[in-house]
Amino acid sequence: MPTVVGRKGVLGTVETELWPKEKIGLQNSAGVLRETLAKVL
């Protein structure tokens, strides 16, 4: 998610709609990261 950052840190996030293909790609990427973390930790 795009994040608005100011001097004192995060001010907020900008919600965006994802296309179905983008959402699937993001979910696949998150799965790979979870698997990698499980192996490392």
| Residue 26 and residue 20 in contact, taking contact as beta carbons nearer than 8 Å | no
Q: Whole-structure pTM over 0.85, yes or no?
A: no
Output 23 or 2, whichever has higher pLDDT: 23
Q: Which amino acid is at 35?
A: E
Domain boundaries, the chain: 3-40
Q: Say how far apart CA 21 and CA 5 lie, in whole Å.
A: 28
Q: What is the pLDDT of residues 16-35, one digit of tens each?
A: 999 999 999 999 999 999 99
Both tokens assigned to 6? 């100011």
